[in-house]
Amino acid sequence: MKFRQATWRKSNEVLEPTVFELGVLGRGGTKIAEPDPDIISIVGETDELIPENMKRKEINLPGMAEPQVARHFSRLAQMNYGVDSGSYWLGSCTMKYNPKAAMRIASSDRVRRLHPFIPTEAAQHILRIMYELQEMLSSITGLPHYTLQPAAGAQGEFVGALIIRAKHLDEGERQRDEMIIPVSAHGSNFASAAMAGFRVIKVPTSSEGTIDIDALRAVVGERTAGIMITNPNTLGIFESDILEISDLIHSAGGLIYYDGANLNAILGWVRLSDMGVDVAHLNMHKTFAAPHGGGGPGAGAVGVTEDLKDFLPVPLIKKSGNKFYFDYNVPKTIGKIRTFYGNSEVLIKSWAYLKMIGTEGLRKVSSIAVLNANYARRKLVDYGYKVAYGKERPCKHEFVLTLEDLKEYGVRALDVAKALIDRGLHPPTIYFPLIVKEAFMMEPTESDSLEEIDEYVKAMKEIRELAMEDSEALKRAPKNSSVRRLDETLANRKPILTWRMYIKLKASR
């Protein structure tokens, strides 16, 4: 195999080769130690322990010395973009900074080496972490009971929907098979409700960007199981009629599901229980500073009111005296929904974040996140960008622009996003929410400094000017990235995520 110099820095269209392409047969930098004679004397020759048909006869490992391995992975790391690289205004994703102290705690030996089958007596510290996290989430949201099992926001929604279903069935209300969801909701809401067996009833958004109350009133009835509501909604607007909405649903016998994936705007300012919420999920990997993206692990804690606690998944984490334990005695549980107890390593990071930041810190996080979003929105409006909905009122943690007016120059939201990449900035969420044409959904979070926000909006200003003067130049973006424009449909539908190692197995050597 020929050794190829990585060429991504020189030419745009050439990808960094994989280690298998870089490797040279026979080359290497590792010496494999001889087996320890003491161990062999105890267990015998390992060669004899492994059945013949399970032995690998040949393996095609890349031949590389350590410097080349180190350089390869450093190059890959440099090609990556994360919250530690720069601004990351990916709306609805709350790409906030992940404090290094929390990472250190989560990777310490005391928690890293725990095995899920360890007896609970030996796992008291991790149980305590999870118990305390539940308590902190309870005090933030006003919902008294929590499960930390769901591995993502969407799984939390599914759990919540199953709980709502179980509650109605328990009360003999079999006819409650309709889940109301605003059209601005995250796509996972519709999927979760449908997976839990509900018929999805959509309600439109008013010109203010909030739920159309009259339309809602028209669909509420005796088949209503509940509503799945996001507040602030995905347009970054607070549903100020929330109390009227929850009264309407409750008096019809339905329950309020709250999509709390992004709680950043209201932390410490308003509790979900005060909005009439019965069940909610919170994303640890957005609001609570655990890293995500790239398909990394998540955790979607689900909180419920006193009325719904008997339906939570088992086991629950409880405390008796000084001892923490798993409670499997939950009479009407919807069952177990995740192996072991959830993504505990993610939970540790959120626990550490909350412990470090405290109640006052949380309020400050919210205020700065909201201030940053309003500041950025105002600047962008000054530069000519259009706010999709609710431009007369302040936004919360995020806002949605519509770039439809650039179409007259032949420029689309996608082109503007690609141009941001050339300026070293991660583009925002585009084409979501679906109700906004040429949507540009921006969430600066509390992590960006004033200078960083100014830099981002300045880049947006320049791109807008370029769009009007030389739209063809925008169509050529990105030029400074390792790849240019991908076939995004193909990349989504047929991703190639592995390198096929063809291991040739021969009958005998």
Ligand X SMILES: *Cc1c(COP(=O)(O)O)cnc(C)c1O
Residues 37-56 that bind ligand X (CB under 6 A): none
Least spacing, CB of residue 92 vs ligand X, in Å: 4
Q: Which two tokens stand for residue 21?
A: 């392409």
Tally of CA atoms within 13 A in the half-sphere of 269 that contains its CB: 17
Alpha helices, H only, 3-98: 19-22, 37-43, 46-49, 66-79
In terms of CB distance, is 155 or 482 closer to ligand X?
155
**Alpha-carbon distances of 19 from 58, 423, 491, rounded to whole Å:** 18, 29, 22
In terms of CB distance, is 282 or 317 closer to ligand X?
282
What's the CA gap between 385 and 472, in Å, rounded? Answer: 20
| Segment interacting with ligand X (CB under 6 A) among 6-14, 62-70, 147-155, 163-171 | 147-155
Residue nearest to ligand X (CB): 153
What's the CA gap between 480 and 423, in Å, rounded? Answer: 8
Question: Does 152 help bind ligand X (rule: CB under 6 A)?
Answer: yes
Give the residue, chosen from 166, 261, 272, 460, that forms a contact with ligand X under the rule CB under 6 A: 261
Nearest alpha carbon to residue 94 among 205, 270, 255, 232: 232
Question: Does 298 help bind ligand X (rule: CB under 6 A)?
Answer: yes
In terms of CB distance, is 123 or 154 closer to ligand X?
154
Least spacing, CB of residue 263 vs ligand X, in Å: 10
**Alpha-carbon distances of 492 from 107, 188, 306, 487, 500, rounded to whole Å:** 32, 17, 42, 9, 19
Question: Does 188 help bind ligand X (rule: CB under 6 A)?
Answer: yes
421 contact partners, CB below 8 Å, separation of at least 6: 427, 477, 478, 480, 481
Question: Does 153 help bind ligand X (rule: CB under 6 A)?
Answer: yes
Question: Does 239 help bind ligand X (rule: CB under 6 A)?
Answer: no
- Contact (CB, 8 A) for 87 and 47: no
Question: Does 283 help bind ligand X (rule: CB under 6 A)?
Answer: yes
| Segment interacting with ligand X (CB under 6 A) among 10-18, 148-156, 367-375, 435-443 | 148-156
Element (H, E) at 356: helix 344-382
Question: Does 230 help bind ligand X (rule: CB under 6 A)?
Answer: yes
In the chain the first and final C-alpha atoms are separated, in Å, by 23
In terms of CB distance, is 189 or 305 closer to ligand X?
189
Least spacing, CB of residue 271 vs ligand X, in Å: 19
- Burial class from Cβ neighbours inside 10 Å (0-12, 13-18, 19+) for residue 131 reads buried
What's the CA gap between 315 and 326, in Å, rounded? Answer: 5
336 contact partners, CB below 8 Å, separation of at least 6: 149, 313, 314, 315
Least spacing, CB of residue 228 vs ligand X, in Å: 9
Binding residues for ligand X, how many (CB under 6 A)? Answer: 14
Sign (positive/negative) of CA torsion 365, 240, 191, 401? negative
What's the CA gap between 406 and 222, in Å, rounded? Answer: 46
Question: Does 300 help bind ligand X (rule: CB under 6 A)?
Answer: yes
Least spacing, CB of residue 306 vs ligand X, in Å: 25
Least spacing, CB of residue 286 vs ligand X, in Å: 6
In terms of CB distance, is 154 or 457 closer to ligand X?
154
Least spacing, CB of residue 333 vs ligand X, in Å: 22
What's the CA gap between 249 and 164, in Å, rounded? Answer: 13
Least spacing, CB of residue 301 vs ligand X, in Å: 11
Question: Does 154 help bind ligand X (rule: CB under 6 A)?
Answer: yes
In terms of CB distance, is 390 or 433 closer to ligand X?
433
Question: Does 262 help bind ligand X (rule: CB under 6 A)?
Answer: yes
In terms of CB distance, is 114 or 183 closer to ligand X?
183
| Segment interacting with ligand X (CB under 6 A) among 8-16, 255-263, 352-360, 396-404 | 255-263
Least spacing, CB of residue 350 vs ligand X, in Å: 13
Crossing angle, helix 124-141 and helix 344-382, to 10 degrees? 30
DSSP-assigned beta bridge partners for residue 178: 199, 224
Question: Does 186 help bind ligand X (rule: CB under 6 A)?
Answer: yes
Least spacing, CB of residue 468 vs ligand X, in Å: 32
Give the residue, chosen from 64, 72, 89, 92, that forms a contact with ligand X under the rule CB under 6 A: 92
| Segment interacting with ligand X (CB under 6 A) among 35-43, 125-133, 258-266, 469-477 | 258-266
Sign (positive/negative) of CA torsion 43, 48, 54, 58? positive
Q: Which residues bind ligand X (CB under 6 A)?
A: 92, 152-154, 186, 188, 230, 234, 259, 261-262, 283, 298, 300
